[in-house]
Amino acid sequence: MRNELPKRSLLDDADVPLVGLARLAYRESVRPRDLYQSHKWFARRLAVTARSLLVAAGTPSGESFWKSYYQGPSYKGLKVLDPFLGGGVMVMEASRLGADVHGLDVEPVATAISSFQ
C-alpha cells in the first residue's frame, strides 16, 4: 500500500464479509488475545472488529478482503487517530499494521490502560 488510502475502498462499497467475520469474532470472544486482557475494560471491542475496519478501509474496491486481512495491508507512513481511545483496540491493531497511532480519551483510566498495553 502507498502512503495513502485508496480513493475507493471495500469499506466505501460496504463489501465486508460480515458472516465470516462474525465467525472469527465468536472464536475470539471465547479465547481473547492475551494482549487485550491486561485490564477488563468495560466496553472492550474485539480485535477482529478493529482489524476488519482498518483492512476494509485500506483495501481498494474490487480486491479480496480475505487476502488483505490475512496478509495485513501496510499502513506504514499513515497516521491513525482514535479520539475515543477506550481500551485501545483500534490503535493496537493499526499499530500492528504499521501505522503511526495516536489515541485520546477524556477518561484517564483508558489512557493508562492503553499506554500499558
**Which tens digit of pLDDT belongs to each residue from 70-95?**
998 889 999 999 998 887 888 989 99
* Distance between CA atoms of residues 76 and 81, nearest Å: 14
Determine the average pLDDT of the residues in 16-38.
75
* Distance between CA atoms of residues 103 and 117, nearest Å: 13
**Which tens digit of pLDDT belongs to each residue from 44-79?**
678 889 999 999 999 999 999 999 999 988 899 999
pLDDT attached to residue 1: 42
DSSP category for residue 53: H
Q: Record the pTM.
A: 0.79
DSSP category for residue 46: P
Q: Which of 36-40, 70-74, 112-116 has the highest mean pLDDT?
A: 70-74
* Distance between CA atoms of residues 84 and 53, nearest Å: 16
- What is the three-class DSSP state of 60? strand
Where does the pLDDT of residue 43 fall: very low under 50, low under 70, confident under 90, or very high at 90 and above?
low
Residue 10 corresponds to which cell in the numbers above? 471495500
pLDDT attached to residue 108: 83
Query: Grid coordinates 491513525 are at which residue?
Result: 80
